[in-house]
Amino acid sequence: MSGQEFLDRLKRDLGTKITGANLEAVDPWIEVSPTGLPDVARYLRDSADLKFDMLMCISGVDYFEADPKKAEKTGWQPHLEVVYHLWSVPHKRSLVLKVMLPRWKNDEPGEIPDIPTVSDVWSTANWHEREVYDLSGVRFTGHPNLRRILCPEDWEGHPLRRDYVMPLEYHGIRGR
């Protein structure tokens, strides 16, 4: 199945939940709407000929450049991407899903955006979503235990945000 055929099939079966794609990239990816993500995930895992039964990685990528000159060069609108790398064990194939999110919920700085969890589809997502929440600042709604995983629980801010500033001190330890 070529990339275009696969995309057409997904669009036919899942409709507006598929919001875009880039088939020319080094790793072609498919963009999914945040609300449609759990349905798309279940469809990809359960369809007999696809069987994307393994979730390899969830990464949060923050596209934000504070310097306006540099921002112009990159050509990126400030936004946040959550990238899902899937793998099919029976068919030995990979797939990349992307979900675009605003950097802040309702444009209020400090309010991190929401996305439905897929930890009920792939158990791998449980820890990975905690990591993305911890480091990139994305709230996974419906997650059974959304706590920080790598940073201490009383840590403030999300370090992999591009505008993150190291705290001056943490429990008496000098930060910067």
Partner 1 sequence: MATQTDDARIIEFDVRTDEMLVNMGPQHPSTHGVLRLVLRTDGEVVSEVTPHIGYLHRCAEKIGENLTPRQWIPYTDRMDYLAGMNMNLGWALTVEKLMNLQLPEKARHLRVIICEMNRIASHLVGMGAYGLDLGTFSPFLYAFRERERILDLFEEVCGARLTYSYITVGGATADLPPGWLQKCEAFLDQFLPVIDECHALLTTNSIFIQRTAAIGYLSPEMAVDYGCTGPVLRGSGIDQDLRRDGEAAYTAMYDGYAFEVIVEKNGRYPQDHKYPAVPSQAVLGDCWHRFYVRMLEVRQAIDLVRQAIDRYSTATGSYGEPVKLTEKLPKGEAYLETEAPRGQMGFYIVSDGTSIPWRARARSSCFCNLSVSHEICRGALIADIPAIVGSLDIVMGEIDR
What residues make contact with partner 1 under the rule CB under 8 A?
A: 25-27, 53-57, 59, 61-63, 73-74, 76, 83, 85, 89, 92, 94, 96, 122-124, 126-127, 131, 135, 148-152, 159-160
The least CB distance from residue 1 to partner 1, in Å, is: 17
Cβ nearer to partner 1, comparing 10 with 80:
80
- Sign of the dihedral defined by the CA atoms of residues 141, 144, 149, 152, in that order: positive
The least CB distance from residue 85 to partner 1, in Å, is: 6
Cβ nearer to partner 1, comparing 12 with 68:
68
- Sign of the dihedral defined by the CA atoms of residues 101, 105, 111, 115, in that order: negative
Q: How far is CA 118 from CA 39, 45, 95, 107, in A?
A: 9, 11, 16, 25
Cβ nearer to partner 1, comparing 12 with 171:
171
- Inter-residue contact 109 to 102 (CB < 8 Å): no
